[in-house]
Copies of this chain bind each other. A is one copy, B any other.
Amino acid sequence: MNSLAQKNTRRGRPPKVNHDNHDTRAALIRSGVELLTEHGFFASGIDKILKKIGVPKGSFYHYFSSKEDFGREVIENYASYFAKKLDTHLLNVELDPIQRIGSFVEDAKAGIQKHHYKRGCLVGNLEQEVDVLPDGYRQLLTDIFIDWQHRIEVCLREAQQQQLLSTNANCALLAEFFWVGWEGAVSRARLTQSAQPLENFLNQYLAGLPR
Chain A residues with a Cβ under 8 A of chain B:
38-40, 42-43, 118, 120, 124-125, 127-132, 138, 141-142, 145, 173-174, 176-177, 179-185, 187-188, 190-192, 197, 200-201, 203-205, 207-210
Contact = CB atoms under 8 A, between A and B. Distances in A.
Contact of A204 (B42, B177, B187): B177
A180 B191 contact: no
Q: Tell which of A173, A185, A204 has the most Cβ of chain B within 10 Å.
A: A204
Contact of A43 (B38, B42, B176, B192): B42
A127 B187 contact: yes
Secondary structure at chain A's binding surface: helix, strand, loop or mixed? helix
A180 B197 contact: yes
Nearest to A206: B208
A131 B180 contact: no
B142 A191 contact: yes
B184 A132 contact: no
Contact of A187 (B174, B184, B205): B184
A43 B132 contact: yes
